[in-house]
Amino acid sequence: MRRWLPALIALGLAGCAAESAIETVPPPRAYAHGIGGATFLIGGTFPPGRSPDGNSLILYGPEGAFLIDSGRHAEHLTLIRQGFSGIGMTPVAIINTHWHLDHVSGNPALKAAFPQIKVYGTSAIDGALSGFLAKSAEASRKALAEGAIPASAIPDVEGDLATIARGAELKPDIVVDESRDVLIAGRPLSLRVANHAVTERDLWIYDAAEKRAIVGDLVTVPVPFLDTACPEGWLQALEEVASSGAEQVVPGHGPIMPIADFAIWHRAFVDFIACTRGTGALEGCSAGWTAGAAKWIADDAPRAKAMADYYGELIRSGKLDGYCKA
């Protein structure tokens, strides 16, 4: 299993890292859609043995509606379409918090259906397409050819390869590489840029009217997804979220958190990074994570532990240090 694990992790199939016992973990809970403030949440999922969909949000203002993150699978895209239909609006924009495939793969289909859409995002996807995603695609094609990927994972891997092949269609129309205030569909938002955090450059959105921070994968359940991350940059970004004035945080994966819950998650992340940067046994680091984040992973602890083990090894090895370049 370990032989094909890196390729699957790279394409968002981190759940496959777990041992066979994890196959019995129930699917993630469904999250409520309407969250107030003319905002609707389409909760992502992460079934065992499959790649995840990140959370998506539909927001609307006096001049139309728009989307934050477009997911990965056709089922998730159907929910997005139904969401727009339910409010009787068509999207005019997409904001991508980062380039991971479980947040951008729906872009091409939505742009084809609604040509007026403009995509906001950072330029980090350029380096990802020529670097991380290209290498991941090569590793996955090799694993497929060798028959080394479980049958249940093959459709997701093939789907991700098809998305990577359409990489030019994932790039933003409006590049946001510095924090700025914007008006989208007549709705004011603050787009905040976090450098060298989850990816080379991430966006998170502060909705001052709702005191709500929509943070993409800066916050994730069941574990932080560190495949392309600079842990120290991520820590800095979380401090900025904590000091933003937000009273509510919407993660990239997992349920909405009141600010007190975000503080618990934040502390668990700080402790996990400190532990993995130390010299103690990594088993203690992953055990610390599952204890600190137990509020969200009680039903998924075996998989969370396996994934935390993997990410602990990744940090301790120094392989992530290259993502911290200035």
- The predicted structure's pLDDT at residue 183: 98
Q: Each residue of 137-177: pLDDT tens digit?
A: 999 999 999 999 999 999 999 999 999 999 999 999 999 99
For residue 16, pLDDT over 50 is answered with: no
Alpha-carbon dihedral of residues 94, 179, 324, 311, nearest 10 degrees? -50
Encode burial over 86-108: b for 16+ CB neighbours within 10 A, e otherwise: eeebebbbbbbbbbbbbbbbbbe
For residue 20, pLDDT over 50 is answered with: no
259-268: average pLDDT = 98
9, 48 Cβ separation under 8 angstroms: no
Band of the pLDDT at 29, cuts 50, 70, 90? Answer: very low
- The predicted structure's pLDDT at residue 326: 55
d(CA 153, CA 145): 14
Q: Each residue of 195-253: pLDDT tens digit?
A: 999 999 999 999 999 999 999 999 999 999 999 999 999 999 999 999 999 999 999 99
266-273: average pLDDT = 98
Tell me the angle at which helices 259-276 and 282-292 cross, rounded to the nearest 10 degrees: 180
Phi-psi region of 260 (alpha: psi -120 to 50; beta: other; left: phi over 0): alpha
- For the chain, give the mean pLDDT: 91
Can you give the C-alpha Rg of the chain in angstroms?
18
Determine the residue type at 173.
D
3-state secondary structure of 66: strand
Encode burial over 229-262: b for 16+ CB neighbours within 10 A, e otherwise: bbbbbbeebbebbeebebebbbbbbbbbbebebb
Q: Each residue of 104-114: pLDDT tens digit?
A: 999 999 999 99
For residue 254, pLDDT over 70 is answered with: yes
Q: How many CB atoms lie within 10 A of CB 266?
A: 21
What are the beta bridge partners of residue 40? 34, 58
Q: Each residue of 42-99: pLDDT tens digit?
A: 999 999 889 999 999 999 999 999 999 999 999 999 999 999 999 999 999 999 999 9
Domains by residue range for the chain, with CATH = 5-324 (3.60.15.10)
- 4 or 125, which is more confident: 125
Question: Tokens 């400190």 correspond to what residue?
Answer: 274
d(CA 186, CA 59): 11
d(CA 133, CA 127): 9
Band of the pLDDT at 298, cuts 50, 70, 90? Answer: confident
